[in-house]
Amino acid sequence: MASAFDVVVIGAGPGGYIAAIRAAQLGFTVACVDDGVRADGKPAPGGTCTNVGCIPSKALLQSSEHFDTARAHFSEHGIGLKDLSIDVPKMIARKAKIVQQTNEGILYLFKKNKITFFQGRAAFEGKEGNGWRLNVSPVGVNKNAETLTAAHVIVATGSSPRALPEAPFDNKRVLDNEGALALTETPKRLGVVGAGVIGLEMGSVWRRLGAEVTLLEALPEFLGVADAAVAKEAAKLFKAQGLVIHTGVKITGVKNGAKELAVEYTDATGAAQKAVFDKLIVSIGRVPNTRGLNAEAVGLALDERGFIAVDDHCRTNLPNVWAIGDVVRGPMLAHKAEEEGVAVAERLAGQKPHVDFNTVPFVIYTSPEIAWVGKTEQQLKAAGVSYRAGSVPFMANGRARALGDTRGFVKWLADAATDRVLGLHIIGPMASELVMEGVTAMEFGAASEDIARICHAHPTLTETVKEAALALDGRALNF
């Protein structure tokens, strides 16, 4: 006998579990199926984000930053330390505990919202009236196969790391994000292919703990997705931290030997090079998870890049089948997946939600952090938009000086004619938190003058956000 639900969500990552909760809040009967398994076989809901992404990476970034601060900056505060050391297995165990707490938190939320959770792998079987029949093959401690029927299906199956053809992942020497987050000792020589978000965050963790880190990036420009001034400042600061970054690289071969690994590549000038590493992290983007869904059999259409094809409302080509998060177009970010999950649930309830990709914030949790929302200067120039920019360094901020971190700057971009905010770009302390002022400004259609006229608490880092808005009008007060 099939269990019947109004909504079945496939995948309990940030897209799926949030969609399930919102649908339950709106009065639907909801099931969520996820194939995540902990080492002990118990369910590990939370997807990539909770298990091998956002949360564990931030745990390691925090631990390694504490270590680095103690090593390099405590003495400035008059704090003396003898025999500073790092216990990497303990750091990894702390991370594992945080992940497990988050898994358990999601299971608690399912229970609280009366969502039926199935530990297993879901696949489409066929139509069932206006809805769908799905089968769930058990994984982990669950030994029961199930058949479910759903009036609506939300596919939130996420993404997996893209492998380098020359070096398949073995998570011994060639590491994906999971392997990079699970090292129990600091490698002496760490190579990273791809100087994107994962490469920079993971490279930073292991560099702070003493690894020699070399990043090999295919594109000629470093961090081309960020505003060019931010990318330039980041390149300078990361170099000072000891991260070696080569751009314009083409990998030509990888020899995975018994003791070490040799990467052959051509550099930006086309010259052949070879680098030898103890471990290699490959972080060259991610691919959507559609295998095993039986998508072909039911005719679920994919786009040319293998993502599930959806319209602006996350509707697929099949009636009553929706798809959200990393498995569909758009930035691969947890908060984007969550917003889409909420929007689909609300649409099922007859509401008219809207997710605005223009106001999705981006954050790179390096030190200093990098964060932005809206357009970059190079995008505005390319689009022929006339704009004004206001930029102020954290050096001019009293709180930043007290913190001992005056690196970086804040830059607002606003339309030259209307003063409407078009973008906010930050590299500096707590950029991840500060960027939300730009998101709010853009959501409310604010002008840069609005920001400049808002009273900001003193002394806070947010004063630099205000000061940059004043600078845009040529009237900065503290710079």
Active site residues: 458
Among the residue ranges 98-106, 145-153, 157-165, 382-390, the one whose residues contact ligand FAD (CB under 6 A): 157-165
Binding of residue 230 to ligand NAI (CB under 6 A): no
Please pick, from the candidates 7, 10, 263, 441, the single residue that binds ligand FAD as defined by CB under 6 A: 10
DSSP E strands, 35-171: 116-128, 131-138, 146-155, 159-161
In sequence order, which residues have a C-beta less than 8 Å from that of residue 100 and are 6 or more positions away? 38
Interacting residue with ligand NAI among 68, 217, 405, 437 (CB under 6 A) = 217
- The neighbour count for residue 313, using CB atoms within 10 Å, is 14
The one of ligand FAD, ligand NAI, none whose footprint includes residue 157, by CB under 5 to 8 A per kind, is: ligand FAD
Does 193 participate in binding ligand NAI (rule CB under 6 A)? yes
Residue 367 interacts with which of ligand FAD, ligand NAI, none, CB < 5 to 8 Å by class: none
Q: What are phi and psi of 288, to 5 degrees?
A: -65, 145
Minimum Å distance from CB 3 to ligand FAD?
16
- Report the site for ligand NAI in 36-95 (rule: CB under 6 A): none
Least distance from C-beta 422 to ligand FAD, angstroms? 22
Q: How buried is residue 299: exposed, middle or buried, by Cβ count under 10 Å (0-12/13-18/19+)?
A: exposed
Q: Return the closest-CA partner of residue 324 out of 294, 289, 350, 358.
A: 289
The 3-state secondary structure of 206-247 reads HHHCCCEEEEECCCCCCCCCCCHHHHHHHHHHHHHCCCEEEC
Tell me if residue 270 falls in helix, strand or coil.
coil
Phi-psi region of 270 (alpha: psi -120 to 50; beta: other; left: phi over 0): left
Q: Choose among ligand FAD, ligand NAI, none what residue 16 binds, the Cβ cut-off being 5 to 8 Å by kind.
A: ligand FAD
Map the footprint of ligand NAI across residues 350-409, applying CB under 6 A. Answer: 363-365
The structure tokens listed for 34 are 């996820």
What does 135 bind: ligand FAD, ligand NAI, none (CB cut-off 5 to 8 Å by kind)? none
Contact 394, 400 (CB under 8 A): yes
How long is the chain? 479
DSSP 249: -
By CB under 6 A, the residues from 281 to 300 that bind ligand FAD are: 289, 292-293
How many chain residues are in contact with ligand NAI, going by CB under 6 A?
Answer: 25
48 binds, among ligand NAI, ligand FAD, none (CB under 5 to 8 A by kind): ligand FAD
Q: Which does 232 bind (CB under 5 to 8 A by kind): ligand FAD, ligand NAI, none?
A: none
Under the binding rule (CB under 6 A), the answer on residue 16 touching ligand FAD is yes
Helix (H) or strand (E) holding 10: strand 3-10
Question: Hey, is 426 helix, strand or coil?
Answer: strand
Looking at residues 304 to 363 of the shown chain, list those that interact with ligand FAD (rule: CB under 6 A).
Answer: 325-326, 332-335, 337
Task: Catalog residues that contact ligand FAD under the rule CB under 6 A.
Answer: 10-16, 33-36, 47-49, 53-54, 57, 121-122, 156-159, 177, 198, 289, 292-293, 325-326, 332-335, 337
Task: Catalog residues that contact ligand NAI under the rule CB under 6 A.
Answer: 164, 193-199, 201, 216-219, 249, 251, 283-286, 331-333, 363-365
